[in-house]
Structure 1
Amino acid sequence: MNHASLPTTDLRARQARRRSLAFLLFVLVALAATLGGPVEPAVKLLDESQLVHATTAAPPVEVAAPMTIEQLRARVAAVLEREGVPGVGLAVVDRDGVRWAGGVGLADRDSGEPVTADTQFRVASITKSFVALGVMRLVEQGRLDLDRPLRELMPDVAIANDWDATSPITLAHALEHTAGFDDMRFNEYFSAADGAAPRAALAVNPRSRVARWRPGSRESYSNPGYTIAGHAIELATGESYESFIEREVLRPLGMPTARFRRSPEYADRLATGYDSPDQPALFRPIWHAPAGALLASPRELAELVHFWLRRGDRGGPALVGPEALARIERTETLPYLGPDTNYGLGNYGDVSHSARSRGHDGGLPGFLSAYRYFPELGVGYVMLLNSTHSLRAYLEIRALLFAYLTGGRAVPPPPPRDPDPAEVAAITGYYGYESPRMQLFGFIERAMVGISVRPDPGGIALEMLTGGGAALVPTGDGGYRHWREGGTSVRLTRGDDGRRILVGGLTYFEEHSYAWAKTRLFALTAALLLIQLAPAWALLWALLAGIRRVRGRSIAAGEFALHAWPAAAGLAWALLPLLFMHMARAEAYTTANPLSIALCACTLLFAACSAAAVAEVVHASVARTVPLSLRLVPTAAALASFGMTLYLLFHGMIGLRVWAW
C-alpha cells in the first residue's frame, strides 16, 4: 500500500502521529545527550555492610611489613597519594595500651590542616558498638531484656511481623540484624537537624520495619535496628540515649571529646570528608543517629580497642562483666552455626587477615572507618579515612597496619582439614541469594547473585553465577575458608525450614535451581541487549529508508512506527540510569523534586513506549504491510521492552516514587 491510496484524512493523521513520534525521539535523544555528559561521582554510602562484603569477596591484600612507625607512616602516605585520599587517622594498640596514635595526610585540603591523633571523624556505624555496650549495661542491671518482644517493650513503635505469634521480634533481633527489616528508606537517610530523637526517626517511615521473612532465620543489615536500641535505652533510663552513653560508656572508656553531634567547642577538630579527591562532602545529620552519628578521634577509638584486648583485666573500666562481653561477640538469634564473621551486638568477626579479629566498620559520605582487635595476638588497630572513593586505600592501609602489628613475622592461618567427600557431595549444588538489604532492589540481586558449590581437590570451589570464584578449604562443621584467611568465612548448613543454605558475612543463600537461575539471567541479559540495540537499529533503518526515498521508493505504512516505538523505549531506558545518577549526586531522593519526579515519569514513559511498540508489532503482523525481514529486530526489541516493563511493574519499579517509598 502506498500513500496515494490512503484517504486524505487518514494520511494527515498518520503524518501527524509520525511527526509527534519523531519529536518524542528528538526530545529523548536531546535529554540523553544533556544528561549523558560527565557526572561527578555520586555520594558513596560505603558502609560496614559493603566493607564486610569487600573483605570477604577477595583474598587478603599482601604487603611487606613496615618495621617502624616512621616506615608505616611513609607507606600509608604513599597509598594516600596514589589513591587521592586526603588523610587518615590511625592507632595501633596492644594489651598494655595505645602504642601510637596519630595521622597521615590532611584533615582539610583547603586549610592544609594535618590529621592528628585528636582529629575527629564521623565514625559512622562504629557507633553501633557503643550503643550495644550501653544496652548490655542496662541488661546487666535488669533494666532491659534482650529477649523481650518489641511489641511489649515499645508498643508506641510500629512494627509489622506476620510471624509474631511464634517468632516475635526482640531487641536481640534488632541488634543482630536478624529481625527481617529492610534497611532505612530513602527519606530516612538525612535529617534536617542534628540530634534527632530515636522516636522521631522511627516515625519517619515505618515501612522499613516490616519483617520480610521469619525473624531469626537470616541476617540482613538494617540500620533502623539500632535506632530501636537507642529508643529502648531512652525507655529504660528516662533520659536521652546520647547522655546515657556519653556518661556510662564513652567517658569511662577514656573518650572525653567523643559525642553524637557537632559541638562548637570541638569544631576545629572535625575533619572534612571528601566524596572524591577534591570534592568535599556535605556534612548532613542522619535520622538514624544511634546507628551512625558518633564523632570520635583515632586516639579515643584506640581506647575501645584497648578495652576489648584487656577485657576488664589490668585495671580497665568494668563497663560490663565477662558474660556480657562474650554475649556481645556471639550471635544467638539464628538457629544454625554461622561462620567466624558472625555479627553479635554491634560487633562482628573478620577473617580477611591471617588471624581472626573482631570489630566494626563504618561509612558515611566522605568517611570510612574501621577498628579491629585480635584476641589471639593481643593487638589491634584503628583506621579513619576522610574519603569514600577508594576501597583500595581502605584494604591496603588495613593490611599495612596488621603487618606492622605482627612485626613482619609470619602469622599462619589455621591448618586446613582434609575434605570429607560425603560432606562435599551433600552440599554440592546451586545457592541463590535470599537476604537483600533493600527489598526495592532485591529482585536485581536475586537475578544476578548466586553461588555454585563444586567439589575441589582441597575442599570445594565456589563459582559465581555471573563468573569468577574461589577454591576454599574445610574448617569443620560445614565451614570453609580461603587458604589465606584466618578463620571460617563460609558455612554450609541447613536453615530453620530444613533447606540447605550457605552463609557468609552478612549474606544468606538458599538452595535453588541452577537451570532456572541461568535461564532468568540469560533472558534478562538478552532483553537488555535488545532494548539497548533498538535505538541504533532504528537509526540504521532511517538511513536505509532515506536512501530508498532518494531512489523513489516510499516506506511501507506502519514501518516508521514499528521502528520508532522500540527506539523510544530504548532511549527512555537509557535515561533511567542517567537520571538516577544525577538524583543520587544531588541527594535528591528524599523529596518530590524535578529529578525524582523525572525518574518516576521516565519509568512510566518506558512502559508507555513499550506498550506502543507491541501494539505496532501486532498491527504490522496483521496488516503485513512491512516485510518480515524488516519486522524481526523491532519485534524482538518491542517484546523485550514490554517483557521488561511487566518484570519491573511486578517489582514495583514502574511509577516508582523514591520520595514516598
Structure 2
Amino acid sequence: MKSILVKSIPVKSRFSFWLSILLLYLLPAHLLVAQSDPRMISDPQTISELTAQIQNVMQQENMPGLMLSIVSKDSILFSGGLGAADLKTGQKVDGNTLFHMYSVTKMFTALAILKLISSGALHLDDKLKDIAPEVAFDNPWEETHPLRLVHLLEHSSGFDDTHLNMIHNTSGRDLKGLQAVSFYRTCLVSRWKPGLVSSYANPNYTVLGYLIEKYSRMRWDDYIQKMLLKPLGMDHSDFELRIKDESGYARGYRFEDGHYIEFPFFVPTGNGAASALHSCADDMSRYLRFFLDDWNVNGTRWLDSTYLSAMETIHSTAGAREGLQIGYALGNSTYYNHPKADFRGHGGGGDGFESLINYDRRHRIGYAIANNGGQGMWRISVLIENFLTRDLPDFASAALEGQSAIPVSAKPALADYQGYYKPVNVRSEQWNFLQRVIGVVKLSEWEGRLVIKPLLGPADTVAWVRDRLWKRAGEHHASVAIGLDEDGKPFVQSGMHQYYRKTTYLPVLAQQLFLGLSVVALLFSLLWAVVWSVMVLTGKVSKRQVLVGILPGLAIVSAVVAFRLTTLTDYTNRIAFNSVNLTSLTIFVTSLGFGLFSVAGLGMLARQWSQLKSAWIKGILTFNAIFVTYLALLLWMHGWIGLRVWAL
C-alpha cells in the first residue's frame, strides 16, 4: 500500500527497476521541494473558484471522482463530492459516498492505542515482548534496544514494508488475531536498532491492531467504532474487509489507452488495521472538526490534551532526540512545507484510490480529499491549502516560531561531520537496496552553512538554526539534524525519513563505479548483440562463436522482461503475485534467465578466448561479460534472480 508520507515510488512510474531508482534517489531533494512549493499555484479566493480549479485538475489528471471536505474554524466550508463514483452506473459522488482511504486508517488505529494508554492498559514505552510475548519478531538488539509500542506507532521498528505477495488476500478467509500478524512474519525483522529512525512499514500497524484486540477484548474495528466513530457521529464509515453491498462505495479506476479500467474490490491482507478504512466527506468533516476542536466532542473532551500533544510529537528517533520534529509521529506526520501553516495528517493509496487528510490546529483549518483514479493529490492539496490560508501572513523568516524561550547553544563545529554519508533506512529491501550505493551524500561547510551534496545533481545548502538543527532557505522549521549516534558515529537526518551514517568513501566509490559501468555494459550488450549477429550472418565471425556475443544481450532482454512485467503487474494486477501462475512464473523464469545468461556469457567467453583474434573485440566482450555478471551477482544477493514473488 502506497503512502504519501514517504514519497514512495508510484506504481505508474515503475516502468523498470532502473527508472524507479533514478526517480526516487537521483533526483535532488531540493528539486522535489521546489516542485511542491505551494506558492507556484495561483490562490483561489472563493469556494466556487476552488471547485472549478479542482475540476480542471481532475480532468487533466484523469480522476473520475473526488471526495472533498474543507473545514475552517467552526464552519464546514464544503462537504461533498465532484465527478463520478461509478462510471458504469453514472452514480455521482456526494457527501455519503464511501472512498477507500487506505493508510489514513493508521490515524484511527493510533487513536485507539492512545485510548487504551489513557485507561492504563498500555504504555507508550511498553516492550512488545512483555505485552505480547506470543508475537514472533526478530530484533538483534533486543537486550539493549528493545522493540517498544512507540516504535510501532512511529514506524521506527526497522521492519521491512509489505512484500509484493502480501498486499491482497486471496485465501477466501479473513486473517484474525495472531494469525494476521504471523502472516507478515518475514517482514517483522528489525534491520537497525529500534528507535534509530523511521521507515514506513505497514506490518507495524497490523501488530497494533492485534494489541487493540488483546487489550480491549474486542475486534480492533469494533473497538474503534464504539470508542471513536460513534461518538463523533461518523455513521457511514466502516472497516469492512469484504464489501457485501457495493452501492454506496466509489469504484477505483486506472486510466489506460484513453479509457478507464475498473479495479475490483480487493480484500486487504492482515487484520486491516493498516488500511481498511472506507469513509466519506461528511464523516471526514466530523473527524476534522474533532481535531480542530482539540478533541472536544459535544462539550466533552475525548482524551486529555496531553494525549493530543503526544500524538503530534515525534518521540523515538535519533533526529527527534536532537529536536527535529519533521516526519512521522503517532499515526500522523508533517512536512512543514507550507509558507503560512503547519499542516499535518496522513495520506494513503492503493488500487484505484489516493487519499489525504491534513489539518492545522493553530489556525483551525483542515481538509480531506480522495480520488478514485489512483492519481496523486499534490495539485489539489496545494489549491485547497492556498485557499484556506489566503488571509494568513507568511511565517517570520528570521527564526523558528517560539524559539525565544529556547536557549540557543553554540553553533556546532562541523569539522568532525564533514565527509561521506551512507543511507541506512530503506523502506523495502526488495525495491530500494540500491539506495545504499547511489544515495550516498557528501557533507561539507561553506560560509558557515552545511552543504549536502548527492551523487548527482545540485547540492542542498542549509543554514544553522540552533543546537544541531538546520533548515533550508524559505523554511520556517528545521528539516535537517546532525549528531552522534550511540557508537559515536556522526549521522545526519534530512527531511521525513532520510537517515545517513558517516562512512568511508573508497568502498562506496568502488560500488558506485562498478554499478555505473554495469549500466554502461547493459547498453553495450544490447547493441553488441545486434552487431555480433550481423557479423555472424555476414560470415565475419564463425557461427560457432555466435553465443559468445549474444548471451549478454539475451541476459539484458530477460532482465527487461522480468522487471517490466513485475512493475506492470504491480500497477495493474497485484493479485497475480500471490500464487503460481503464468505471470509469476514468467517473472521467475526471465529473472533467472538474466542470471544464467550472464554467467553463461562469461563462461563462453573464457572457453572461446583463444579463438578470438581481435584485441578490441576481446576487450568489448570482456567488459560486457564482467560487468553484466557483476550486476547479476548483485541482484542475486538481493533476491532478484529467480524471483519467486509468490513466496516472499
Match of 1:239 among 193, 215, 218: 218
1:546 aligns with 2:529: no
Match of 2:426 among 411, 416, 436: 436
Q: 95-104 or 417-426: which moved more?
A: 417-426
**Amino acid paired to 1:598:** T
Match of 2:327 among 342, 346, 360: 342
Match of 2:146 among 147, 157, 168: 168
Counterpart position of 2:91:
113
Q: 369-378 or 275-284: which moved more?
A: 275-284
**What CA deviation, in whole Å up to 9, does each residue of 1:602-633 have, x standing for no partner?**
23222222222112222233x24432232221
Report if aligned partners of 1:48, 1:363 keep a CA contact under 8 Å in 2: no
Shift of the alpha carbon at 1:457? 5.3
Q: Residues 579 and 173 (structure 1 numbering): CA distance in 2 closer, same or farther, change over 3 Å?
A: same
Match of 1:227 among 188, 206, 214: 206
Counterpart position of 2:15:
none
1:479 aligns with 2:479: no
1:125 aligns with 2:103: yes
Report if aligned partners of 2:241, 2:267 keep a CA contact under 8 Å in 1: no
1:302 aligns with 2:259: no
DSSP 3-state at the match of 2:437: helix
**Amino acid paired to 1:282:** P
Q: 651-660 or 407-416: which moved more?
A: 407-416
Report if aligned partners of 1:558, 1:625 keep a CA contact under 8 Å in 2: no
Report if aligned partners of 1:298, 1:384 keep a CA contact under 8 Å in 2: no
Q: Residues 424 and 380 (structure 1 numbering): CA distance in 2 closer, same or farther, change over 3 Å?
A: farther
Structure 1 Cα separation of the partners of residues 389 and 629 of structure 2? 58
Unaligned runs of 5+ in 1: 1-43
Counterpart position of 2:526:
535
**What CA deviation, in whole Å up to 9, does each residue of 1:521-575 have, x standing for no partner?**
232121122123223212213323433x3xxxx6358532321322322322232
1:510 aligns with 2:477: no
**Amino acid paired to 1:415:** A
Counterpart position of 1:260:
239
DSSP 3-state at the match of 1:103: strand
Q: 420-429 or 214-223: which moved more?
A: 420-429
Equivalence map 1:175-190=2 (5 Å) = 175-190=153-168
Structure 2 Cα separation of the partners of residues 557 and 625 of structure 1? 13
Equivalence map 1:93-104=2 (5 Å) = 93-104=71-82
Structure 1 Cα separation of the partners of residues 617 and 103 of structure 2? 57
The number of aligned residues is 609
Structure 1 Cα separation of the partners of residues 496 and 526 of structure 2? 42
Report if aligned partners of 2:514, 2:627 keep a CA contact under 8 Å in 1: no
Shift of the alpha carbon at 1:132? 0.9
Q: Residues 250 and 485 (structure 1 numbering): CA distance in 2 closer, same or farther, change over 3 Å?
A: farther
Equivalence map 1:294-443=2 (5 Å) = 294-312=277-295, 315-335=298-318, 336-337=321-322, 339-354=324-339, 355-389=341-375, 391=376, 394-412=377-395, 414-416=397-399, 423=413, 425-443=415-433
**What CA deviation, in whole Å up to 9, does each residue of 1:222-264 have, x standing for no partner?**
1111111111111112110111100101111221111101787
Q: Residues 426 and 125 (structure 1 numbering): CA distance in 2 closer, same or farther, change over 3 Å?
A: same
1:284 aligns with 2:271: no
Structure 2 Cα separation of the partners of residues 134 and 314 of structure 1? 16
1:58 aligns with 2:33: yes
Counterpart position of 1:612:
600
Structure 1 Cα separation of the partners of residues 97 and 456 of structure 2? 43
Shift of the alpha carbon at 1:71? 0.9
Counterpart position of 1:152:
130
Q: Residues 232 and 497 (structure 1 numbering): CA distance in 2 closer, same or farther, change over 3 Å?
A: same
**Amino acid paired to 1:647:** L
Structure 2 Cα separation of the partners of residues 460 and 647 of structure 1? 34
1:495 aligns with 2:485: yes
Structure 1 Cα separation of the partners of residues 78 and 299 of structure 2? 19
Report if aligned partners of 2:101, 2:276 keep a CA contact under 8 Å in 1: yes
Report if aligned partners of 2:450, 2:461 keep a CA contact under 8 Å in 1: yes
Q: Percent identity?
A: 25
Report if aligned partners of 2:158, 2:189 keep a CA contact under 8 Å in 1: yes
DSSP 3-state at the match of 1:382: strand
1:76 aligns with 2:76: no
Structure 1 Cα separation of the partners of residues 444 and 293 of structure 2? 42
Shift of the alpha carbon at 1:171? 1.7
Unaligned runs of 5+ in 2: 10-23, 401-407
Counterpart position of 1:467:
457
Return structure 1 stretches of 4+ with deviation > 6 angstroms.
51-56, 262-266, 417-421
Shift of the alpha carbon at 1:136? 0.9
Report if aligned partners of 2:322, 2:468 keep a CA contact under 8 Å in 1: no
Shift of the alpha carbon at 1:444? 1.6
Q: 651-660 or 555-564: which moved more?
A: 555-564
Match of 2:69 among 73, 81, 91: 91
**What CA deviation, in whole Å up to 9, does each residue of 1:349-393 have, x standing for no partner?**
22121222221111121111111111332211112222223x3xx
DSSP 3-state at the match of 2:78: strand
Q: 50-59 or 162-171: which moved more?
A: 50-59
Structure 2 Cα separation of the partners of residues 317 and 444 of structure 1? 51
Q: 286-295 or 483-492: which moved more?
A: 483-492
Q: Residues 279 and 559 (structure 1 numbering): CA distance in 2 closer, same or farther, change over 3 Å?
A: same
**What's the TM-score, normalizing by structure 1?**
0.85
Report if aligned partners of 1:501, 1:508 keep a CA contact under 8 Å in 2: yes
Shift of the alpha carbon at 1:424? 5.0
Counterpart position of 1:563:
549
**What's the TM-score, normalizing by structure 2?**
0.87
Structure 2 Cα separation of the partners of residues 66 and 426 of structure 1? 48
Structure 1 Cα separation of the partners of residues 102 and 178 of structure 2? 20
Counterpart position of 2:6:
49
Shift of the alpha carbon at 1:79? 1.2
Structure 2 Cα separation of the partners of residues 242 and 604 of structure 1? 43
Shift of the alpha carbon at 1:314? 8.2
Match of 1:574 among 553, 560, 563: 560
Counterpart position of 1:451:
441
Q: Residues 531 and 86 (structure 1 numbering): CA distance in 2 closer, same or farther, change over 3 Å?
A: same
Structure 1 Cα separation of the partners of residues 253 and 617 of structure 2? 52
